[in-house]
Amino acid sequence: MNLEMAWPYLALPVVAVVWHLWQRGRKERAHAHQLGEAVAAGLNEPPSLHPVVDPARCIGSGSCVKVCPEHALGMVNGKATLINASACIGHGACHAACPFDAISLVFGTEKRGVDIPLVRPNFETNIPGIFIAGELGGMGLIRKAAEQGRQAMEAVALRGRADGNDALDVVIVGAGPAGLSAGLSAIEKGLRYRIVEQESSLGGSIFHYPRQKVAMTAPVQLALVGQVKMHEISKESLLEFWHGVMLKFKLVIQFGERMESIVAEGDGFVVTTTRSQHRARSVLLAIGRRGTPRTLDVPGEELPKVAYRLVDPEQYAGQAVLVVGGGDSALEAAIALAGTAGTRVSLSYRSEAFSRVKGKNRDALARLQAEGRVEVLLSSQVRRITERSVFLQLADGSARELPNDELIVCAGGVLPTPLLKDIGIRFETKHGSA
């Protein structure tokens, strides 16, 4: 075959290679730009468990980038890089997908340490009878958190049962994967138990994931249920599964109860919540690292119309809604509400500018503000809430009354670390370590 006849066959692979390199370069430039925006906005510090890539092992296959549902990873200079750290939820799909074991999951960074409680192999803390499993103990992976809850309950059962008819064998604090798994194990072992959950629904941190977020990609072993295979499951499907388990096995969960203290009493503990007291031989803390929602501490905040997260924008259609906060969650809530028919949206923030937010959120809010679909009230603070209004104090000291049907506070959370340290639980600070 002469060169003239062979040319079409040689040209095809050359064109394919050139096209692949051009596409890869375009994506790398976009990822580098995204990383630059995150650094400029101060959003390059991951909040919790996150991947660290070993550049010596990474061959740039991009498999980790493809499986990350938060788009937190990207390719920069031919290597996988955490380009959207604030979005990373640490579920570990990237770690499992890397063919060369180049990714480690760690807590904290050189600049920001993360306090992790010290626990024994059986998940018992330095205080005998108090156990920790799941996200608080440093495990953000849903599958492993559920496994920890199951194993921790085995240790609780070995510790022995409570004396007296009015005492429980164990109080489980938190209705996330670790707490729900522990509850199933408690039923299996015939333990007297109770789950208390500060939220109004189960799911723990999963409940706060964005809609349709891929939350779990690996099988999990649950007491009474057996092995559950969950591949590429969405947040909604996972919550539906847990709800079905709760109903089928009649899990005893008391919602809307926030733990306030744990005090040793005899050979057990008294767990005080916002609603009652529970005496128990053992306590399993299966709470997340999001903490308790930060409140405004103003008159009227106890009204039913006040919420601390946006679940479904459609439920606010046709109403006057005020969002309070200046982070990405507040901006994203206001943006989502503005897309709902007939909703009148205002956003109040105590500072004079939005600093630590993603550029795309700042731009989207500015566009909606220019279109008159969101009223932005900077340098303002909520002072009082009533059934039909909310009263703000403005920068010049004057007051303003806004008609209001619903109020959503997006002011972050108060971590449980100080409470646990007061109990006597020991912690270690992780600076970029597993």
What does the block give as tokens for 426? 């020991």
What pLDDT does 356 receive?
79
- One-letter amino acid at 19 equals W
User: How far is residue 234 CA from its own chain's centroid?
Assistant: 14
- What one-character DSSP code corresponds to residue 408? E
Q: Which residue segments constitute the domains of the chain, with CATH numbers given?
A: 3-106 (3.30.70.20), 115-291+415-430 (3.50.50.60), 306-412 (3.50.50.60)
380 vs 42: which has the higher pLDDT: 380
The CA distance from 300 to 209, in Å, is 28
With a cut of 90, say whether residue 236 has pLDDT above it.
no
The CA distance from 125 to 130, in Å, is 6
The CA distance from 434 to 424, in Å, is 23
The CA distance from 385 to 401, in Å, is 10
What pLDDT does 233 receive?
66
pTM of the model: 0.73
The CA distance from 114 to 107, in Å, is 6
Give pLDDT tens digits for 185-197.
999 999 999 999 9
With a cut of 80, say whether residue 92 has pLDDT above it.
no
With a cut of 70, say whether residue 217 has pLDDT above it.
no
In terms of Cα–Cα distance, which of 190, 151, 201, 185 is closest to 168?
190
Whether residue 65 contacts residue 19, with contact meaning beta carbons closer than 8 Å, is answered with no
What pLDDT does 173 receive?
96
The CA distance from 401 to 270, in Å, is 44
Whether residue 175 contacts residue 202, with contact meaning beta carbons closer than 8 Å, is answered with yes
What residue has token string 């703000």? 392
Give pLDDT tens digits for 327-383.
988 999 999 999 999 999 999 999 999 977 888 889 999 999 999 999 999 999 999
Question: Dihedral (C-alpha) 54, 60, 63, 68: value to the nearest 10 degrees?
Answer: 60
What does the block give as tokens for 68? 């990350």
415 vs 214: which has the higher pLDDT: 415
What residue has token string 């039923």? 187
Residues 6+ apart with CB under 8 A from 175: 183, 195, 197, 199, 202, 203, 204, 253, 255, 286
Averaged pLDDT for residues 80-99? 81
